[in-house]
């Protein structure tokens, strides 16, 4: 970059807010890192797949050459149709040398779209996900595409041994090809897991299942049982039908084929077991973390079988649990925790029921005058400071904050959480509040009124908006008892009904001759000492 361009860029950055400049630089750094990770993943996966193709096909070619020539007792050549060992070795080398690069080229050409996606750093589309997940199956088909013609070619070159000899050479090469292709499928599926996990990191864009656990099991059977049994069958039929081969040759062929079957079968079953158990164990470990309360967990999705659906389903379940926990937290902020738990447990269809409870009403004295002379934000701050002290005390004594009424608060003891000693709990909470509020705000005066009696508790509302509350004359009396505190000068007053409900009454001072709005005559209220 020239000095002029750099100066222009600096001037441009000066006119842009610093936050936008930092965000743009962070995006460039993130894109660069994503590009490097994509290149690294592609190099490792590409090298791994090419190595697997070369090794597996070379081993398969050696097996296909050695078994018919030195292990299986095939019929001898007819006079004039002999083929030397060197001829077959050269033919195999030429065929493998031509087929292997062509197969690698076809495989890489089919993966061109996946490579472009991996280097772009963006989320994979449904097409790109399917390309990545179908790569092992495509490699299997490509190899069988080259091995089946090879089987026919070498069978034709073995016609000098007669029809049976050519047939069993064809069958042996085909079995070796099936072994090679199936081994490559299982190994490529393992190697490509990091790319599959990246392709599915943002979730599956659709029905991505392209193979199944059943296919893995079938491949394991082909490698561990089908190929060895097929080879042994070939040895037996050739020996019995042609009479060629000594007992020693037949014995050597059986031992070699059984040895190959044991080794390849064990390796295949182990690979299939790891491929199946690995993601399941990952989900199991993550599930234990969820059971321990850790919801910030997810499992990488890299399996294209039904197990991949399990991984996707687990992640979706955890997202749902996190959403449920978020809703529970929101309920805890705007709704009393007891009500939130009740709604989550029983739903919103909470019919009304009549209960015996104690109602507490709290109000700030002189609040109207104070609010008219004070800034709004200061008023809200002071009221919230009061409620931050009061609400935990109510909860501590198993009460339920029913609602906030401006500068007042209505709390219920005995619903929705049942409490036979609701009057004692309400009085204990009222005395604790009366002691705590002056320590938080010495200039703030409050009045607390308690009344006990029957109420109707349940959901009230309509039009999609419901509120759990208590209704009844008991609630109204509690508010009027609180109003009487201004007349008596007490912080806490309780009605005679609440006094009668107390199981362990403290020292109380009677306040006689009190007039309550809506009540005829005089009543006696009580103030704790």
Concatenated DSSP letters of 415-478:
SSS--TTHHHHHHHHHHHHHHHHHHH-TT--EEEEEEEEEEEEEEEEETTEEEEEEESHHHHHH
Residue 96 contacts residue 58 (beta carbons within 8 Å)? yes
Name the phi and psi angles at 462, rounded to 5: 180, 175
**Structure token pair of residue 154:** 């070498």
- The number of beta carbons lying within 10 Å of the beta carbon of residue 136 is 24
Asked whether the predicted pLDDT for residue 271 surpasses 60, the reply is yes
CA distance 436 to 362: 14
Which whole-number Å values give the CA distances from 439 to 389, 434, 436, in the listed order? 10, 10, 5
SS3 372: helix
Please state the rounded mean pLDDT for residues 239-266. Answer: 63
- pLDDT, one tens digit per residue, over 379-412 is 888 888 888 899 999 989 989 888 888 788 999 9
Please state the rounded mean pLDDT for residues 273-295. Answer: 82
* The pLDDT of residue 484: 92
Asked whether the predicted pLDDT for residue 507 surpasses 80, the reply is yes
* The pLDDT of residue 176: 80
Residue 216 contacts residue 308 (beta carbons within 8 Å)? no
CA distance 179 to 187: 12
Asked whether the predicted pLDDT for residue 518 surpasses 80, the reply is no
CA distance 219 to 143: 14
* The pLDDT of residue 30: 61
- pLDDT, one tens digit per residue, over 401-447 is 888 887 889 999 988 888 889 999 999 999 999 999 888 888 788 99
Please state the rounded mean pLDDT for residues 165-170. Answer: 78
Please state the rounded mean pLDDT for residues 235-256. Answer: 60
- pLDDT, one tens digit per residue, over 205-227 is 555 555 567 766 776 676 666 66
Q: Which domains does the chain have, with CATH numbers?
A: 15-291 (no CATH), 350-528 (3.30.70.1230)
Please state the rounded mean pLDDT for residues 243-251. Answer: 57
Q: Contacts for 187-190 with beta carbons within 8 Å, 24 or more apart?
A: 187/52, 187/56, 187/271, 188/48, 188/49, 188/52, 188/135, 188/136, 188/139, 189/136, 189/275, 190/271, 190/274, 190/275
To which residue do tokens 């088909």 refer?
A: 141
- Would you tell me the crossing angle of helices 112-120 and 126-133 to the nearest 10 degrees? 120
Question: How much is the CA Rg of the chain, to the nearest whole Å?
Answer: 41
* The pLDDT of residue 62: 79
- pLDDT, one tens digit per residue, over 496-505 is 999 999 988 8
Asked whether the predicted pLDDT for residue 451 surpasses 90, the reply is yes
Q: Find out whether the peptide bond into 335 is cis, omega within 30 degrees of 0.
A: no
Asked whether the predicted pLDDT for residue 13 surpasses 60, the reply is no
Mean pLDDT of the chain: 77
DSSP symbol at 124: P
Q: Is 0.85 topped by the overall pTM?
A: no
* The pLDDT of residue 256: 67
Please state the rounded mean pLDDT for residues 114-120. Answer: 76
Name the phi and psi angles at 417, rounded to 5: -80, 120
Highest-pLDDT range among 249-253, 320-324, 511-515: 511-515
């Amino acid at each position: 970059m020239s000095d002029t361009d750099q100066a222009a860029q600096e001037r441009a950055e000066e006119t842009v807010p610093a936050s936008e400049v930092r965000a743009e630089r962070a995006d460039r750094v993130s894109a660069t890192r994503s590009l490097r990770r994509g290149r690294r993943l592609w190099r490792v996966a590409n090298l791994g797949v090419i190595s697997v193709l070369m090794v597996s096909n070379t081993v398969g070619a050696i097996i296909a050459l050695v078994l018919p020539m030195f292990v299986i007792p095939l019929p001898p050549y007819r006079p004039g149709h002999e083929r030397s060992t060197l001829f077959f070795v050269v033919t195999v080398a030429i065929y493998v040398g031509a087929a292997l690069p062509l197969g690698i080229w076809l495989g890489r050409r089919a993966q061109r779209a996946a490579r472009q996606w991996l280097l772009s750093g963006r989320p994979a589309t449904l097409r790109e996900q399917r390309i990545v997940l179908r790569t092992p199956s495509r490699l299997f088909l490509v190899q069988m595409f080259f091995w089946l013609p090879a089987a026919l070619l070498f069978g034709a070159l073995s016609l000098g041994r007669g029809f049976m000899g050519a047939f069993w050479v064809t069958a042996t090469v085909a079995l070796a090809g099936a072994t090679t292709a199936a081994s490559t499928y299982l190994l490529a599926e393992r190697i490509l897991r990091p790319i599959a996990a990246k392709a599915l990191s943002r979730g599956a864009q659709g029905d991505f299942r392209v193979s199944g656990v059943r296919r893995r099991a079938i491949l394991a059977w082909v490698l561990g049982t089908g190929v060895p049994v097929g080879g042994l069958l070939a040895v037996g039929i050739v020996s019995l039908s042609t009479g060629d081969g000594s007992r020693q040759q037949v014995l050597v062929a059986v031992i070699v084929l059984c040895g190959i079957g044991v080794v390849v079968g064990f390796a295949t079953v182990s690979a299939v077991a790891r491929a199946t158990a690995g993601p399941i164990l990952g989900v199991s470990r993550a599930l234990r973390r969820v059971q321990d309360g850790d919801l910030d967990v997810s499992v990488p999705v890299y399996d294209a079988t039904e197990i991949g659906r399990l991984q996707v389903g687990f992640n979706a379940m955890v997202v749902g649990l996190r959403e449920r926990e978020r809703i529970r937290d929101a309920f805890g902020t705007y709704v009393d925790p007891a009500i939130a738990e009740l709604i989550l447990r029983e739903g919103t269809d909470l019919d009304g029921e009549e209960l015996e409870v104690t109602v507490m009403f709290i109000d700030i004295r002189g609040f109207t005058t104070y609010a008219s002379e004070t800034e709004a934000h200061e008023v809200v701050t002071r009221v919230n400071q009061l409620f931050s002290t009061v609400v935990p005390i109510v909860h501590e004594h198993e009460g339920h904050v029913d609602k906030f009424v401006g500068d007042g608060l209505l709390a219920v003891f005995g619903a929705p959480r049942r409490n036979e000693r609701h009057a004692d709990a309400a009085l204990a909470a009222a005395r604790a509040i009366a002691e705590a509020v002056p320590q938080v705000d010495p200039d703030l005066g409050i009045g607390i009124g308690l009344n006990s009696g029957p109420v109707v508790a349940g959901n009230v509302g309509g039009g999609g908006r419901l509120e759990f509350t208590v209704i009844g004359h008991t609630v109204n009396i509690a508010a009027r008892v609180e109003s009487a505190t201004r007349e008596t000068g007490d912080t806490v007053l309780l009605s005679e009904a609440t006094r009668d409900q107390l199981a362990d009454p403290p020292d109380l001072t009677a306040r006689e001759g009190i007039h309550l709005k809506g009540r005829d005559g005089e009543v006696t209220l009580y103030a704790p000492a």
